[in-house]
Amino acid sequence: PHHLKNASNCSLSDFCEMIAKTADLMKGTSSLGIGSDLCQDHPDSIVEWMRNGRWTKTLDYGEGSSENAGFPKQPDWFINNSDFPNLEKGLLKTGFSQTEIDGILGNNWYEFFKTSFGR
């Protein structure tokens, strides 16, 4: 959440507004999708590995610091993957149609994979 407006304190409405602004820039929602890199229930050693890999001897704290090297706190409206319904509700309030929301929350990824790797 470091990259979100107000980091871990990002509101659902601010997050959904970010998606709306991105949709405006992209001229629609067909190329938008929620990333699937939620690092739920992993120890801090996983974030260290993700930031540093195995080819470096220098610690990279990413958006954190040596005092705060672990995973940042998730926003309270998206603690884990069971909170996807919160995104759906927020996107509806922001003005997206159900078809657009279904695309953003997964169908656009499905179409991308089908088009790119399907037969």
What DSSP letter does each residue of the chain carry, written as one string? -TTSTTGGG--HHHHHHHHHHHHHHTTSSTT--------TT--HHHHHHHHHTTS-SS---TTS-SSS-SPPPPPTT-SSGGGHHHHHHHHHHHT--HHHHHIIIIIHHHHHHHHHH--
pTM of the model: 0.74
Which pLDDT score, from 0 to 100, does residue 80 have? 84
Which pLDDT score, from 0 to 100, does residue 24 have? 98
Which pLDDT score, from 0 to 100, does residue 25 have? 97
Would you say residue 93 has pLDDT above 90?
yes
Which pLDDT score, from 0 to 100, does residue 30 have? 96
More confident residue, 51 or 83: 83
Per-residue pLDDT tens over the stretch 99-109: 999 999 999 99
